[in-house]
A and B are shown apart, each in its own frame.
Chain A
Amino acid sequence: MRVLDEVGRGTTNVFAYAGGAAELLADSVRFIVGLRIRFRETSDQAYLLGVQSLSIVLLTSLFTGMVFSLESAVQAVEYGVGNLVGGAVAFSTARELGPMLSAVVVAGRTGAAIAAELGSMVVTEQIEALQSLGLSPTRMLVVPRLLALIVMLPLLTILADIVSILGGMWVANIYAHISTESFVTSARSVLPFTDVLKGLFKSVVFGIIIAIIGSYQGLQTRGGAAGVGKATTGAVVTAIILIFVFNFALSYVLFGGS
């Protein structure tokens, strides 16, 4: 019985969480559609986010492209299909690795920062101070972060894609003597440009997830400094899980069987 009780409570909590986060997203969209946007705060947030995440995104994607190429290139050459390596690297990077890696890294960096910042504003009563001044925390704080991520995550993903493919190309060249021309030709023939765009569409969705989950967890913070810590880890864990789930769903819808 105890177990059932716990499961029951867990389930209602999940629904309450999903409902709360969805409501926050809906409120944000209402402000955006009504063009009640604080542009200054938005550009500040976009800049901050770019600075925070650029180097980690570049490093992680560079090494991922390199290792992917390393594992596939030598074997491909052995089987006599070295000319397919460029395609394999570009294909998987643009569709999956680029958007996913950038999103996971940004969730760990920026999602955590958003939750921590808003959480500490809750415990120091700054959120209530906004409300008592007749200002909406959603408009003042959530919308700028949401817009900043919607714009910046795809940009970071483009850079991640480029760096990852270049890294793969370099390793393929050094370890498997696959020429740059052969790599590029193969990449071009395998990867349609629409797939790149679809990959970027994914990162828009991931940006929304990171901003809304980070903000929601931050705004739900209870219980002082310890609460801020919990909100921060909660935001990262939840956002990363959702990114994986939505990535599967989006790949299924966008790429289907192809």
Chain B
Amino acid sequence: MAQVWARLDDVCVRYGPKIVMQNLSLDIVEGAITCIIGLSGAGKSTILRLLNGLKKPDTGRVFVHGEDITTMRESELIDLRRTIGFAFQFSALFDSLSIGENVALPLREHTKKPAAEIKKIVSETLESVGLAHVEDRYPAELSGGMVKRAGFARAVVTNPQAVLYDEPTTGLDPIITHVLTDTIVKLRRRLNGTAVVVSHDLDSIYMMADYIAMLFEGAIVAYGTVDEIRRSPNPIVQQFLQGSEVGPIPI
């Protein structure tokens, strides 16, 4: 039986009157890539925020490595977050810092490594995501795909045990999408860790996913390997995968 990296246990999330998650449970397998699919606004990004404690559920519990993170104090959460990389949908690079400074920031703040070593790690990490010689450029000067990759580099530079990717390929061309998908797979192997990827991009999901979880109306309606999900008899899953207008998903 595979090890569990994180577990959402009977989680409810509400924003004001709006119920986003209702009694949702999900296990994230350690050492694998789990893709989360679902409609826009289904709560996929919220799942990622639950996993690193940026968002607390209204009820229910969230475990990471068996520890309940919903009862953690802010200082414990800070320690937890250092072990989890987060690649944001729009990268969220600090636009007042250069790419090199962005990637170096967690090392500068959390380690006592000398500047020369940090510089070396930063350029190696940037190279590992296919970005060379951009240390001195600013986020506003890079293309969409490059910004995404710089975001990946910042998320993985401290060798976290898990990396959360929020829509890593949305809005990018097919070639960049392929490259980024490949990068996610390689990074997971290099870190020998866990990855959770929120995505709409079926081709790239089929390419990288070990497990797929489908989120619909506040709950996980399907979970399994790529083959299991593709062969799922669930009409919601089939409608989503086929991108069809007819079916149980209201449009």
Among the listed B88, B95, B106, which residue makes an inter-chain contact with A134, where contact means beta carbons less than 8 Å apart? Answer: B106
Interface size on B, residues (CB 8 A): 22
Q: At the interface, yes or no: A132 with Cβ under 8 Å from chain B?
A: yes
Complex Cα–Cα for A130 and B106 (A) = 9
Among the listed A126, A134, A135, which residue makes an inter-chain contact with B92, where contact means beta carbons less than 8 Å apart? Answer: A126
Q: At the interface, yes or no: B132 with Cβ under 8 Å from chain A?
A: no
Let me know if B95 and A131 touch, CB within 8 A.
Answer: no
Let me know if A132 and B109 touch, CB within 8 A.
Answer: no
Among the listed B54, B79, B109, B110, which residue makes an inter-chain contact with A131, where contact means beta carbons less than 8 Å apart? Answer: B54
Interface size on A, residues (CB 8 A): 12
CB A66 to nearest CB in B, in angstroms, measures: 39
Among the listed A124, A128, A129, A135, which residue makes an inter-chain contact with B109, where contact means beta carbons less than 8 Å apart? Answer: A135
A133-B105, A133-B106 as given contacts; A124 in contact with B82, CB under 8 Å: no
| A127, closest chain B residue (CB) | B92
| A130, closest chain B residue (CB) | B94
Let me know if B90 and A133 touch, CB within 8 A.
Answer: no
Q: At the interface, yes or no: A52 with Cβ under 8 Å from chain B?
A: no
Among the listed A126, A128, A135, A136, which residue makes an inter-chain contact with B54, where contact means beta carbons less than 8 Å apart? Answer: A128
Residues of A within 8 A of B81 (CB): 131-134
Complex Cα–Cα for A128 and B81 (A) = 11
Complex Cα–Cα for A6 and B223 (A) = 46
Let me know if B89 and A125 touch, CB within 8 A.
Answer: yes
Let me know if A129 and B106 touch, CB within 8 A.
Answer: no
Let me know if B82 and A129 touch, CB within 8 A.
Answer: no
Complex Cα–Cα for A133 and B105 (A) = 9
Complex Cα–Cα for A254 and B52 (A) = 49
Q: At the interface, yes or no: B86 with Cβ under 8 Å from chain A?
A: yes
| A136, closest chain B residue (CB) | B78
Let me know if A132 and B78 touch, CB within 8 A.
Answer: no
Residues of B within 8 A of A131 (CB): 54, 81
Please report which residues of chain B, range 79-101, place their CB below 8 angstroms from some CB of chain A when the two chains form the complex. Answer: 79, 81-82, 84-86, 88-90, 92-95
Let me know if A132 and B94 touch, CB within 8 A.
Answer: no
Complex Cα–Cα for A135 and B154 (A) = 13
Complex Cα–Cα for A134 and B105 (A) = 11
| B86, closest chain A residue (CB) | A132
Complex Cα–Cα for A133 and B92 (A) = 12
Please report which residues of chain A, range 88-142, place their CB below 8 angstroms from some CB of chain B when the two chains form the complex. Answer: 124-126, 128-136
Complex Cα–Cα for A125 and B105 (A) = 16
Complex Cα–Cα for A126 and B49 (A) = 14
Return the CB mask of A194-222 against B: 1 if under 8 Å, else 0.
Answer: 00000000000000000000000000000
Let me know if A133 and B89 touch, CB within 8 A.
Answer: no
Complex Cα–Cα for A134 and B52 (A) = 10
Let me know if A133 and B88 touch, CB within 8 A.
Answer: no
Complex Cα–Cα for A133 and B111 (A) = 13
Complex Cα–Cα for A132 and B48 (A) = 11
Let me know if A125 and B88 touch, CB within 8 A.
Answer: yes
A125-B90, A125-B92, A128-B92 as given contacts; A133 in contact with B54, CB under 8 Å: no
Complex Cα–Cα for A226 and B54 (A) = 24
| A135, closest chain B residue (CB) | B109
| A133, closest chain B residue (CB) | B106
Let me know if B54 and A129 touch, CB within 8 A.
Answer: no
Residues of A within 8 A of B92 (CB): 124-126, 128-129
Residues of A within 8 A of B95 (CB): 124, 126
CB A80 to nearest CB in B, in angstroms, measures: 60
CB B83 to nearest CB in A, in angstroms, measures: 9
Residues of B within 8 A of A134 (CB): 78-79, 81-82, 106, 109-110
Residues of B within 8 A of A130 (CB): 94
Residues of A within 8 A of B85 (CB): 132
Residues of A within 8 A of B90 (CB): 124-125
A-B contact pairs, 12 of them (CB 8 A): A124-B90, A124-B95, A125-B90, A126-B92, A126-B95, A130-B94, A132-B54, A132-B86, A133-B109, A134-B81, A135-B78, A136-B78
Which 4 interchain pairs have the tightest Cβ spacing? A132-B86, A129-B92, A125-B92, A134-B82
Q: A126-B94, A133-B106, A133-B154 are in contact. List 11 more A-B contacts (CB 8 A).
A: A128-B49, A128-B88, A129-B86, A129-B154, A131-B54, A132-B84, A133-B81, A134-B78, A134-B81, A134-B106, A134-B110
